[in-house]
Chain A
């Protein structure tokens, strides 16, 4: 007997132990033969795996077996590039690579060109000529973390409101009127939100003219999340599109938010909205660099494209700190709650003793989002996974396919809410 993930179970297989829901409800007793309807029921109840008679683990099964033979080379190339920092024989990476290949298969089946696939999952090939820019002398001295932030002029405006909104977004009981009052203190944010709510996408019959009404219509938690996203987006306008694909950046950020929250649900952690915000903001430090320190960003990107070393390690080597520390410092200046600072600071260093469970979840979410190909934050290479963290969180590997499907749905919904698509 052995544990099989739900999608690998075929009708006719025999259960080796009782199939129960997380609340202990018995769906099917051991020794029963599984039928198709049982698989559907298991999916409804959120069961991701079952103990099956006569199953042997096959660690050597190649993830590319399921791929179209014509595409196998391309897939191999994409996998090798993206997962350069990973051992594909070890769980949960094996399962993540498996799920990624499923996604590639689906895209190829839907008619996506090979070049496009390569471009979408290996790029970016920088469109601005790097040689020309990097030949300009870098500033003589390496800047410290603090100094980098000093160059961020938008830091001065309305950090109070931002931290109030973040706090509000963690409180599902907050009233629409109160939230509107907070956001109303920043007129430009308010008008941007109103424009968003009124955009053709929302298609209300009557024009929504007050924030209170907007919050009442769209829902307070959503407006708060929207406000956090929009205000961050607006702080970092004008980043050259040649260096970083901002749509992919936001897709990555929202996906890490969604996955953090979903992992929180599976781990039964109570405050999940805060997890979403932590995920959404985790790569904030990169935005500071992209916006105000273009030269350093380009230099680093050049380095990263020619090295398989993880990008945050290259950051540390070049500057003495990483985007995670930079982002966390900025959040501290904005007086965002400590927990969120911690999650951002430790999202590439979840092994640190001060990393909270929330930080660990954000770390996993970052790796999962990269591995499954939900956007990226600069480089499409999957950052390294801390296996100790995965073990510490203690989720079954089979949960990943459920999370992937749920993320797909929620991302579809939220990308529309944030009107990024």
Chain B
């Protein structure tokens, strides 16, 4: 045996060379994947689609020795393909000709309707092309045509990488289109705001006309009460207009014959809809005066008289002017009343003098009258924070006006709105502030829409970023996994071929260890990319976590106290138990890193029912029942910026070399795969809390969740016989099992095994045998040995799959089976499992 081991140094050396070669190729591939991934690219960083194509062409040319790469873009309106970019530029005509020929030959259609690159013959015998569509799950966005000449193939891994590049380009193009749509939408919003502003300006103008008119003007309600009076009235009646407001119009008519005059006016209006004539008025100082009065009735929507507008014209005035003014007034009042803009007049101390219908509606009142009569203290009744009104009046008194003053206002039903006010101080004849005039806008919805838009945009970017990385990771990881399998297997085999003292042993072990670590990394990547094969099943999170506590305690060390607070009667969820392990380990490791020195780490579970959707930074959670898993720590916490990035792959706050940066990305991937949401809340210095919402599983007849797979290799003391004609494999299995404490016998052929068992004095527990052997198949051997050794359990191994074996009738379904090649761990687990079944049966 020693001799045969030493006979193979050349074999070992060549294996080693092969392994190093593989490792270099992997590094190359990783590097080009990283170069081409473009994690940090967002649609916003590109000028337009052509820039995306240009960038993609450059990356494709970097990947493999293409002679040229040209990209076509789909015109979204005509669905036509247009050449957008060609690298190098002088091959443009050539590539377009090739494209036309491939179109005629149906090859372009072949690529457009499939997702993998198509290899095709070109127009001349030495030409060859790769055609790949640029498509998102939703739409075909373009097409890549890459030209090869002379050399007739592509390096392994180029095709998946080209595929990834093209998908990522398509996603970028789609992002760009979305981005453009958002911009258009923004513009529309802007325009709407401008239209409103124009209405306000017009309103302001009319209002100024009213206040600065030289004719006295009054607005009177249907009962005769004065609602509005302009400053010009003062010159006639010799009292400030504010003092008239709220009083009956009779106040300004002469005391003599008041009733008669009033009746005349009313009759006239009832008959003709208006009154024109000379009347006798009354002023505060001198008594009666004559004035030309014209009154117009203003009908409301139901054609009943709602208001009157009265113009008082000093008797010396001209008729025509009067009429013109009257009409202006009519217009003003009409606009005031029907204006969609909410207009008000109030006193400085907080009473309403007048508001229009729109104003009443904004605050939830049925009519202007209702709000005017029921609000006697604006500051106390309407302001959410009365101090806002103090600041507002202070500014008004200082500056004479305020613009776009935002304040929270209480509506009649108690809800709040965000209002924006523009107000001006109206002064009396002596220049003292008499009242406040202005208008108010409800900007609650606009503000919310703005916030919503911002939030959605962030979500979109985040999702896109994570998606493209996920695709990249998934695509690459599969190939690496295969390569890593070869590396690990080869290293293990090489290790078996050399003696313990061999200087190469250490190097080989290092290779194996490094490959194993890489494999773990790849499985994390796959979990993030949601490509790892998982078997979600009925699971009680409390049980799963309780089973892990010991391990987690060891993980966090003595300085950190681990608290476990399970909710009684926790709802079940559906998830792969190994994913729960990954979730907790990653979260706990993250918490442990955040705690320097002593601290507390709390794991909690809870049932949570949401009766309406919940919004998070990452995404929304629909209403429903969830199991909430919280992991919180008393560590250093993190700022907002960090919180936004922690779920991105390769983001880490640790020093280079300390962490993979995949931990929380893995958590994100797992939770996403299980239709849940993970959120983080944290502040610097105040610890961090991760909350994971997993949908509740409703089952009538839950299957019992099987126990977790053993995470360590389990040993035993049973006596095992291994029958295998390949000596290397026999040695490998024997060494592995002896290492674990089993007592092992070996035989290279079935007959040798039979002879061995016949001469055996002790009891034999387990037979491990190859299925296909030259002299006797595994099943016959097992039957023969079981006759000698009743109760002997059997484990069959073969390079063929269990199904193939079963189909050929060599082995029945349901027998213990181990697929070759196997790792030490697989062998150990299988042996332990078979022996355990023995104990039960």
Contact = CB atoms under 8 A, between A and B. Distances in A.
Interface of A: 21-23, 25-27, 37, 40-41, 43-47, 172-178, 181, 201-204, 212, 215-220, 222, 262, 265, 335, 402-403, 405-406, 408-410, 412-413, 416-417
B103 A40 contact: yes
B109 A413 contact: no
Contact of A175 (B110, B155, B483): B483
Interface band, chain B: 35 or more
Given A46-B112, A409-B120, A216 B106 contact: no
B102 A216 contact: no
Contacts of A402: 106, 109
Contact of B482 (A46, A173, A212, A408): A173
Contact of A406 (B18, B22, B110): B110
A265 B110 contact: yes
B106 A178 contact: no
Interface stretch (B146-154, B317-325, B657-665): B146-154
A43 B156 contact: no
A218 B105 CA distance: 24
Given A44-B81, A44-B103, A405-B104, A219 B482 contact: no
B156 A176 contact: yes
A25 B156 CA distance: 34
B114 interface: yes
Contact of A219 (B18, B80, B153): B153
A408 B103 contact: no
Most chain B Cβ neighbours within 10 Å, of A22, A41, A47, A413: A413
Given A218-B153, A219-B159, A175 B112 contact: no
A405 B100 CA distance: 13
A25 B112 CA distance: 13
B79 A46 contact: no
A335 to B, nearest CB: 8
Contacts of A216: 25, 155-156
14 contacts: A21-B79, A41-B80, A41-B81, A44-B109, A44-B112, A46-B113, A175-B479, A177-B482, A217-B155, A406-B105, A409-B107, A410-B121, A416-B125, A416-B152
Contact of A409 (B105, B113, B155, B804): B105
A416 B116 CA distance: 21
A43 B103 contact: yes
Contacts of B110: 46, 262, 265, 406
A193 B569 CA distance: 65
B348 interface: no
Contacts of B128: 413
Given A175-B483, A177-B486, A202 B106 contact: no
B478 interface: yes
Contacts of B152: 201-203, 218, 416-417
Contacts of B21: 212
Interface in B221-274: none
A29 to B, nearest CB: 12
B153 A217 contact: yes
Given A202-B153, A218-B153, A413-B121, 7 more contacts: A173-B478, A175-B486, A177-B482, A203-B150, A217-B155, A262-B110, A265-B110
Given A40-B103, A41-B81, A409-B102, A202 B156 contact: no
Nearest to B154: A219
Contact of A27 (B79, B103, B140, B804): B79
Most chain B Cβ neighbours within 10 Å, of A23, A27, A174, A403: A23
Contacts of B106: 43, 46, 402-403, 405-406, 409
B293 to A, nearest CB: 68
A45 B111 CA distance: 9
Contacts of A175: 156, 479, 482-483, 486
B134 interface: no
Contacts of B103: 40, 43-44
Nearest to B486: A177
A399 to B, nearest CB: 10
Contacts of B107: 406, 409-410
A173 B128 CA distance: 23
Contacts of A202: 151-153
Contacts of A26: 79
B764 interface: no
B108 interface: yes
Contacts of B140: 23, 25
A8 to B, nearest CB: 15
Contacts of A409: 102, 105-107, 120-121
A235 B381 CA distance: 99
B119 interface: yes
Contact of B151 (A23, A172, A177, A203): A203
Contacts of B482: 173-175, 177-178
B67 to A, nearest CB: 14
A413 B139 CA distance: 29
Interface in B268-313: none
Interface string B125-163: 100100000000001100000000011111110010000
A336 B109 CA distance: 33
Nearest to B138: A23
Given A37-B80, A177-B483, A265-B110, A405 B151 contact: no
B120 A413 contact: yes
Contacts of A416: 121, 125, 152
Nearest to B135: A23
Interface in B473-523: 478-479, 482-483, 486
A25 B104 CA distance: 21
A265 B479 contact: no
B109 A43 contact: yes
Contacts of A204: 151
Most chain A Cβ neighbours within 10 Å, of B21, B116, B139, B486: B486
